[in-house]
Each structure stands twice: as structure tokens, then as C-alpha cells.
A and B are shown apart, each in its own frame.
Chain A
């Protein structure tokens, strides 16, 4: 069985005030050496076959396309792989990331960290590029033959309202993106936003919930379909790699802070670049793939928890009490029950922690 491959590129030029992903400022030459390290690490996994590859970050676009190509070359690919690179629009000018070279190395999907098409909002979020740069990045990727482009949107950011949200959504569609990831901002401990959260004029929970519902409505009006809590795509452009997470399928994650799920075990590498480059040691993170975990992830998807799939995978039916429980939420429109499938509505996704928690855990 082919598995997914995630490669973490832990370098950023600066830290965005909301971000708690692992990244460091790149010192001279480190990115090349890091690529070497990943390549040799990949060779140890030559017994695996990968049908999706995802370069996430950090800012993979800081790596020259040559390095991306080297790493792809070292991976034992399978079939017609989906290969995604996350790009920061500010790295994607004329002298920036070489989409042509990346495309010829096999990259066929770009995920652009736009966050907002409204420059004042982007500024608050610490994003250097403006909407023009974003559009330029999209165009460059497209002319390199990469058509499958995803744009990130952030919801519930300081100063955002339904009107500015509409501008961002409209921008996505006019740019020709095939996929949108719309994440509700979460203030994470250790970030700059966490320290100044009282001074940020953040929308409250009700306003954020309204923005989310508005966003779902606007995107679907334009023809994309929601397929996960935060993900939308034109048909056929769903992220194959990310779906592996939500389908509780196997993936190998390389790089500091990357997580893996292989042969029933979950493990990860510490958030420490030097340590990883010297001596990558996998930290066990317990067993994975239980029914509870499977269900928790499946309920993030609009396709929901399907009895036929559960039966195929676990050889039992979805416990009746889960259906019983789900009926309570059906009454107030948080859940849909259809034949043998339980799925959350958009309203249900908004309170999915509580809903999933009371159904499964």
C-alpha cells in the first residue's frame, strides 16, 4: 500500500504573529544541508512507496526549487502522485520560487498562504506580500502548468467582517484557484497574538461563527464544495494528501515536528532542527487507527462516518448508541443522519469538538 509523505521545511524569514508551527530563521547554507539530510533520511525509507508528497512549513518556498526536486527524486514515488508545495506569496516574485523547475520535478499542486485578500488584514497578520503579489504568484504557478492551486483564508481575524470576507472569497475565485482552505484563527499559546490578545479587536465567538457560515455559503455559491471542516474544492481537486489524515490512512512525516502514522503506530520528531539533522529520533506517540480515532477524523469530513466503510475496516457496525446520540444533534441541525451515515452540517462543524466529543470519546 502506498503511503503519504510529509516533508516539513522548518524555515521562515520571520514569524507570523499567529503561527505556532515550528520554524527557524535559515542560516547560510542550512537549507541545502537540510535537503541533503532529508534525502538521506528518505533513502532509509526506500521500502515505502509514496502516492502523495506534501512540502509544508515553515516556508517551503524559501527552498530553491532545485532542493525540492532533489528531495522528490529521493522519494520512492508510486503511480500518479499528488505533490504539493506550500508557498508564501512573498517568496514567489520573479526572482523567487522557480515554479517551472518545480513543475518539471513533478510538483503539481501549490498551496498559497494568502490568509486574506484585504491588504490591511494581511498586514495585521504579519504577511508581507500584498494582494497583487498573491495574484502574481498564482499566475506564475499557472503559467508553469500548475493548475491545482489552493489558497488559504483565515477567519475571525482582527478587523474582519462579512464584507471584507466576501472580497477575499471573490479574489480566490477570480484568481482561478481550485481549492480553498479557510481556517478559523486560533490564538495559540507562545505566539505574539497570544501575548497581545486583549489588544486585538478579535471578533467574538458569535461573530466568528457567522463569518464561518458566511464563508461556507459564499464558497459554495461559487461552485466549490466543502469536504472538510476547513477545506473546499471544485470537484476532483480535493487534497489527496490531507484526505489521508482524515481517512486515518498511513503517512510518513520527515523533519522536526513532523508526525507519522505507519503500521499502526504514531510517532513524531522533536521540534529541534539541529537534533534532527544530527540524529533523527522518532518519539513514539502511541497506537493509532482505533475506531474512535477513525470516527473522530471521519466526522471532520462532509462525507461523514459511513457504516459500510466502518464495517469494511473494522468488521463491525457503528455502535447503535452513536446513532442514538447523534439524533439529539439532528434535532438542532448540527448533524445529518442519512441511511447508514452520520455527518456534521456546517453549523455542526463549528461546534465539532463538543459534538464529536459527546458522540465518540
Chain B
């Protein structure tokens, strides 16, 4: 039963990793009796193992809570959870667009973190009412007064009534619910206007098809309506609408303006229900879609191969299953001379890549080899044509290239001021162009750089973290393509090009990188029966060279009395070990050698 619009509150929770977002959400569920106590497991909202382990929320979730406030009225609170990483910045912005307010959770022992700040500004940009909450006041090192002052100074939010809570013990959490009711505005919207519903998430369910999570901005929707996606034009007959409860889905007659709920309509793929798209009705459609839509395009590509060629079909199945639920994941078959059959996969960013890789390995029990991530380069040929490549293998003959372009990003790095020097060093080595720096407070800065995407896609975040002891965070968006002096590096083992290790790099970085790669391979490929030259080349020109000396000693000198079996087993074990290596011509390369090159970063 729909409540009146002024009793609805739609909100998100913004928090830094580990500041207690999930725990607070659990307490809210508990206090509103949305979950029976005996069903409480730690952190109900994060239901993927991976999320729990990484302490980040990967996909948005939403839940409806019924809350009887101190004024005696029953309120409908819709908590919309948001993903917490730059790769999912767009999804965060759509989730926030579905809300009128946000709870900002700050750890009383840590203070405001940069990542929180980015999302808080994003919330303020969406005109959300931000309700500060100071958490972890049960800890001995808690400094709630200092943190309250900091929130006031940095963000300018009034903290005089900010709840000071311990989500862990439940202390004062009920005050959070009261603040939501009192401070966050009720949604507006016209029930009789043409339907406009914002899709902030969609999930594939093998029984119902895609479940579309929406916030109704205007109008109404009910089962039997013919709905239409305004961006893709796809139309479907609505099977069911309803509300998300913590542990179930609750069908409803209709969803009205201001409400948050779900729609099922026998939709086969999440690609037909893109985050940010506007749902309207075929009869009486809205004139304009809701603003802010972006089609989600993969930005980072890499080859994903099964370590055991027999797992190719299993890998394909697993990718197909993951794609059902992940509109940003793309893949197509590709063949590598050395890795065999695999897939070229596209991701939003490196975290997205790592998550997919981990899910494939963990949930589908696959052993994978992934190649060096690449971005999309635009290659302008001398004949005037332009080709786009996301795979170094397709890099054309340099003689036919007029010039190349690569994607650039606007990157914000938020950090304590003491790390400015080391951050600027890092950005400088990554070909960054310094654009400016704002002091958010006297000891916190927002550094703005233009950085080439290919410099940040695989270890920038790790390097940033290690240089700033984890205090800095960053945020980027693609701004444009720029002309750049790019070259393709090839790695040769024993004279054969190892296609899986080729990559495209700025010519200024080529020599240094080439030397490191050669060293890494030399250190990580075990000595074999032959001397193996390791070369790194641009075109035909070798720019770095190492030699893996031939193995000298591998012998069981003493044949243990008559213990022949032991000897035989030893040789068999050795043979087994070899199976785990990749053969490149006559050279056997262990997986670790690959990883050592792929994970090459500034620090080693």
C-alpha cells in the first residue's frame, strides 16, 4: 500500500571504506524490524562474498524500510546503496539522482577521508540534503568533537544535531532514523504526469529475467502496462511491480511518483535496462528523458585466457553468466599465438577488471592468464583512415601510421597535504599535466591532473596508495583524445615474439620499461636446457636484452641404493611442474613470470 508522498524518504549512505556503512545499514534494518534478528548475519546488504572481503560495495542495492517515527507517523524509507569506487562513478551518480538525501558516515577516529569527500560533493551537486553521522564513538580513540568541527569546516555541514553513534553496538542509531525523517525532504513529482522512472540498477534473475530497480520521478506504473526505455527504445510488457524488502520482494499494485521499487517485464538482458535510462509508458510517453544518461562503455581491455586450454568453454559460459548482470562487461573471442584461445574483455576500469577476474577464478573455479590491460587508441593512417585498437596485436605497421591518439582523463586526487610532493612525482612519471590544486582545508588538498588513461589503468591506484600510506584517493573521467607519440613494445623469447606481452606505450617510457621487463623475465623464468635471449623491441629494433643462462645442474647424483621408485617419482613430479608452464616455442614460462611482467610498477 502506497503511503502519501510526504511520508517517503529516499536516501543513500556515503562512507569511506571501513567507516561503517554496511554496519550502519544493518542496524537501520534491524531497528525498522525489516529483518528478524535471528536472520541477521553481519552486513546483510553486501551479499557477494567478494564485497565482504574487499569491504566495498560493487553493485547498488536498495531496500524499503517502514519506520514509525517519534511523531507517531509511519514513514517509508528507501535506502539506496551505492558502489564505492571510481570505476563505478557513473553508477554512483545515478543512485544519488534517485535520492533526495544522503547520510554521510564519518569515522570518529579517522575524520573525513578523500573518497568520502568526492562522493559528498557528488551528492551536493545533485542537490541532496546531506545528513552527517559520526560513527564509532564507542572506540577509545574516538574524537567526535574534532570530527564534527572538521565536517563543519571542510564541507560546511551543520553538525550540531549530527547523531553520534556506534553502528557496532547500536548506540544512538535511532537518532539517525529521526534525522532522515526530519532533515531529508520528501520527494516531489506528479502522479498524473507521463511516467518517468530512473533506472539506478538492474539485476538478472534466472526466473524473472531482469529486475529493474527504479525511482519513479513522475507518473505511475503497474503490471500490464507497456513500458518503454527512452534511450534504447526497447519496449516490454510489465509483469510485476513492487518494493524491495531486505529479504524478499513485495509485489504492489502500482508504483507512484516519489517511490522506489522494482519492475519485472521478462527482459532478457541487463543491456536492455541500462543504468541511467528513463522508463516511460508506450501510451502517453514522456517528452524528455531524465538528464544524466551515459551509455556505459568499457574503457580498459585485456585478454583473458584459461590457464588450461580445456577450460575455454567453461570460461565462455562463466563470462556469459557474468555479462547477464553486468552491462559494462564486454567480451569477444580472441586467439593468441602463445596463449591459445581466449577472450578480449572490456571493463570500466582496473577494479572492474580485477573483480571480474576474481569472480571468474573464485565462483567459477577457473585458472586464468590475463594480458596487459590496454585502452582504446585511435590510429590515424597515412591514407587518412582512422582505426581504433584495444589490442596491441592489431597495432599496424608503423610505416603506415600518420599519428596516434590516446585517451586522456581529468583526474582529481584527494590527499592530506603532506603527500603533495610524492603525488606530483608520481603523476609526473605518468606523463601527467598539472592543472591546479585546491586546499580543501589547511591540510587537505584536491590536486587536479590531466593523465593519460593508459598510465592509470593498472597500477596507478596501487602506487598512489602505497605512496600516501592509503590516505589519498582519486577519481577520474575521460576528457578527450590527444595526439601522442606511441610505440608498440614486443617481447621476444628465444627470438619469438610473445604476443601476449606486447603493449603500447609512450615512446619516452619505452626504454625504461623495456629494461625492466627484460630483467623481470630473466629473474622469473627458470633456467632451461638452452640459453634463452630475452629481448624487448620496437618494430625490429631491440632496445633491451637479457640472457637466461642455460641450466647447469639438475641431477640426482646418488641413486639411492635400489630405490628406483623414488627417482621415477621425482622425474614425474618435475614433469607435472612443467605442465603448469606455458611453452613458447622451446621456452617454458611459468605463470609467475607473466604476472611479474604484468604487475610491473614504479616501485620495483
Residues of A at the B interface (CB closer than 8 Å) are: 6, 8, 56, 155, 183-184, 186, 205-206, 208-209, 212, 229-230, 242, 245-246, 248, 251, 253, 257-261, 266, 268, 285-286, 288, 292-293, 296-297, 300, 328-329, 332, 334, 349-358, 360-361
Contacts and interface: CB of A to CB of B under 8 A. Distances in A.
Nearest to B572: A361
Nearest to A211: B553
B562 A261 contact: yes
12 contacts: A184-B555, A205-B551, A242-B559, A251-B562, A259-B563, A297-B559, A297-B564, A350-B552, A350-B554, A353-B556, A353-B570, A355-B529
Interface residues of B, number: 29
Nearest to A258: B561
A205 B553 contact: yes
Contacts of B556: 186, 352-353
B541 interface: no
A230 B557 contact: yes
Contacts of B554: 350-354
A208 B558 CA distance: 15
A205 B561 contact: no
Contacts of A349: 555
B571 interface: yes
A6 B553 contact: no
B552 A253 contact: no
Contacts of A212: 553
A350 B555 contact: yes
B529 A266 contact: no
B394 interface: no
Given A205-B553, A259-B563, A356-B571, 12 more contacts: A8-B561, A206-B549, A208-B553, A209-B552, A229-B557, A259-B560, A261-B564, A296-B571, A328-B529, A350-B555, A352-B554, A353-B570
Interface string B545-587: 0000111111111111111110110111011001000000010
B530 interface: yes
Contacts of A246: 559
Contact of A205 (B530, B552, B562, B586): B552
Nearest to A360: B571
Contacts of B553: 184, 205-206, 208-209, 212, 350-351
B555 A351 contact: yes
B562 A259 contact: yes
B529 A186 contact: no
Contacts, number: 112
A276 to B, nearest CB: 15
B564 A259 contact: yes
A332 B550 contact: yes
Contact of B568 (A259, A293, A358): A293
Contact of A332 (B530, B552, B568, B575): B530
A11 to B, nearest CB: 16
A285 to B, nearest CB: 5
Contacts of B567: 296
Contacts of A8: 561
A350 B528 CA distance: 12
Given A349-B555, A354-B554, A6 B529 contact: no
Nearest to A210: B552
A355 B571 CA distance: 10
A206 B550 contact: no
Contacts of A360: 571
A357 B555 contact: no
A186 B557 contact: yes
A205 B550 CA distance: 11
A297 B530 CA distance: 24
A166 B314 CA distance: 60
A351 B564 contact: no
> Nearest 3 pairs between A and B by C-beta?
A209-B552, A259-B562, A184-B557
A358 B564 CA distance: 18
A319 to B, nearest CB: 17
Contacts of A300: 559
Given A261-B564, A332-B530, A351 B557 contact: no
Max chain B Cβ within 10 angstroms of own Cβ: one of A209, A257, A292, A361: A361
Given A261-B564, A266-B564, A361-B575, A245 B559 contact: yes
Nearest to A183: B557
Interface in B575-604: 575, 578, 586
Contacts of B551: 205, 351, 354
Contact of A6 (B528, B562, B565): B562
A285 B561 contact: no
A351 B558 contact: no
Max chain A Cβ within 10 angstroms of own Cβ: one of B549, B554, B562, B575: B562
Nearest to A242: B559
Contacts of A334: 529
Nearest to A186: B557
A84 B574 CA distance: 34
A356 B556 CA distance: 11
Contacts of A259: 560-565
A286 B565 contact: yes
Interface in B147-199: none
Nearest to B577: A357
B552 A266 contact: no
Contacts of A350: 552-555
Contacts of B562: 6, 245, 251, 253, 258-261
B353 to A, nearest CB: 37
Contacts of A183: 557-558
Nearest to A230: B557
B558 A245 contact: no
A355 B364 CA distance: 37
Contacts of A268: 563
B566 to A, nearest CB: 9
A334 B552 CA distance: 11
A202 B283 CA distance: 86
B540 to A, nearest CB: 26
Contacts of B559: 229-230, 242, 245-246, 297, 300
A288 B567 CA distance: 12
A300 B575 CA distance: 18
